[in-house]
Amino acid sequence: MTSGGERTRLAEELERRLVELERAGDEELGRFTRWDWVLVVLTSLVLPYLIVWWFA
């Protein structure tokens, strides 16, 4: 992938991917909802701190 022609082709492929990835939405990428946030904040931040504080 070093010659001029190959670099141009690579850049065109990159542009195609950027367009496709910008168009992608929840249907393709999966959801991460508010409830997911609530779950991860509670289990990975709040609860661990409460437990640490409890055992201090």
Site string for other proteins, 12-51 (x = CB under 8 A): -xxx-xxxxxx-x---xxxxx---x---xx-xxx--xx-x
**Cα–Cα distance measured from residue 12 to residue 25, given in angstroms and rounded to the nearest whole number:** 22
Q: What amino acid is encoded at 26 in this protein?
A: D
Length of the chain equals 56
Among 4, 34, 35, 52, binds other proteins (CB under 8 A): 52
In the chain, what is the straight-line distance between the N-terminal and C-terminal CA atoms, in Å? 57
**Which residues bind to other proteins, rule: CB under 8 A?**
1-2, 6, 9-11, 13-15, 17-22, 24, 28-32, 36, 40-41, 43-45, 48-49, 51-52, 55-56
